[in-house]
Chain A
Amino acid sequence: MERIPILKMGEFLLVTIQVDMHDRLALTLQDDLTSQIVKNKAKGVLIDISTLEMVDSFIGRMLGSIAGMARLLDAETVVVGMQPSVAITLVELGLSMQGIRTALDVEKGMAALTAAVTRAREAADDGIEL
């Protein structure tokens, strides 16, 4: 069965969606990703959708719910490289995904993740010191 590979990079997980997302694939990704986060104790997830050219409301919602699940498992999610046409479609569908971090490309997404994780860690450190 077709699967989307999840790569581990330090404390982050990297997902590059390079095929057309269909609903089954999206659900499998959701399962795999949540179990990988737990297994690797990942602090951040980066989802690269720069080659994704079409989305529907299901995939849009799925991206949102993956971010929500990751947050519950103490990992930040950043979605990078969304195509203009995809962004317009999502907005027209009324999915503005308020809770999700976004970035223009993988490089900027990594920087944002690192910054967010560092911030979270500092906040936690401060909490311990108090």
Chain B
Amino acid sequence: MAAKAGLGTVLAKRDGQIIERWLELQAAGGRSISATERQEVTRQSRAFLEALVAAARKGSTDNTSGPEWARAREILTDLSASRAKSGYSASETASFVFSLKQPVFAAVMEEFGKDPEELSDAVWQATELLDALGLLTTEMYQRTREEVISRQQQELLELSTPVVRLWENVLALPLIGTLDSARTQIVMQNLLDAIVETRSDFAIIDITGVPVVDTLVAQHLLKTVAAARLMGADCLISGIRPQIAQTIIHLGVDLANVTTKATLADAFAVALRRSGQAVVRLEKRQAGEAK
């Protein structure tokens, strides 16, 4: 028990020495950083050491999930998150805590140098403590990275389903990439919203960029077409490649009620014709007007 109080006391007594050595180590070991970043690191280091000392004096050093460690954990969480976002590697982030080992060991050595038992006890405690905190840093770093990844996935989902306006009353939705249920849901929602917003009578779903069409994807397409029809818009499917046509027939999917065309241009022509419009060559039109 005496040793447990020992580590906290040592940390408190020699914190000035520890922080100095620690900052030196961080500056030497890490990557080259700007003056503002260095200031930030100094500030973070001081705050963390303060929290560490306070917690070590108050409670046990072998359970870092206790309430007295909340402040230290919070600082580490913030630090890991900000480092993960600004592109530090995992080891660079973890080394924030691990580089504290040497100065702490040095301080412990100076304090208990004459008493091997106390010394080994304190060193062991310090190791366990810093390892736990280091692991926490890595975990937090990873969590932040995962958040970034899932957010990017979400953004990709939204980005990858743009609804474009081809003509007055004609919308197109070029689909690129594999369609799964989640994505199709977003595609469907986006398209239907766009139909309402632009009051378009025709929507063309172009699946040139969809590598595989299975029964599920075909089902989703049919549902989208049916939903658009219920809202009062005509939905055409274009960009069906030969392989996909073969797959659709082999799978026995019934696309008979849907207008399908090989290319977007063909589908566009159909949409124009159905809405009573036409695109003609200028000379022809002038000739027609002259008559």
Interface residues of A (CB under 8 A from B): 79-84, 86-88, 90-92, 96-97, 102-105, 108-109
Interface residue? B199 (CB, 8 A)? yes
Question: Can you name 14 A-B residue pairings with CB atoms under 8 Å?
Answer: A79-B232, A82-B230, A82-B231, A88-B192, A91-B226, A91-B227, A92-B223, A102-B231, A104-B195, A104-B199, A104-B200, A104-B201, A104-B231, A104-B233
Residues of A within 8 A of B199 (CB): 104-105, 108
Residues of B within 8 A of A103 (CB): 232
Residues of A within 8 A of B195 (CB): 84, 104
Residues of A within 8 A of B188 (CB): 88
Chain A's interface: helix, strand, loop or mixed, by majority?
A: mixed
Residues of A within 8 A of B226 (CB): 91, 96
Chain B, interface size category, equals: 10 to 19
Contacts A92-B223, A104-B195, A104-B196 given; indicate if A87 touches B201 (C-beta within 8 A): no
Closest 5 CB pairs of A and B: A84-B192, A102-B232, A103-B232, A87-B227, A87-B230
Q: Which of B192, B227, B230 has the most CB of A within 10 A?
A: B230
Contacts A84-B196, A104-B196 given; indicate if A90 touches B230 (C-beta within 8 A): yes
Residues of A within 8 A of B196 (CB): 83-84, 104
For A78, the closest partner residue in chain B by CB is: B232
Chain B's interface: helix, strand, loop or mixed, by majority?
A: helix
CB within 8 Å: A-B pair count: 58
Contact check, A82 vs B189: say whether CB atoms are below 8 A apart: no
Contact check, A102 vs B189: say whether CB atoms are below 8 A apart: no
Contact check, A80 vs B229: say whether CB atoms are below 8 A apart: no
Question: Nearest Cβ in chain A — how far from B282, in angstroms?
Answer: 30
Interface residue? B254 (CB, 8 A)? no
Contact check, A102 vs B227: say whether CB atoms are below 8 A apart: no
Q: Which of B189, B193, B232 has the most CB of A within 10 A?
A: B232
Contacts A104-B199, A105-B199 given; indicate if A82 touches B223 (C-beta within 8 A): no
Interface residue? B133 (CB, 8 A)? no
Contact check, B232 vs A104: say whether CB atoms are below 8 A apart: yes
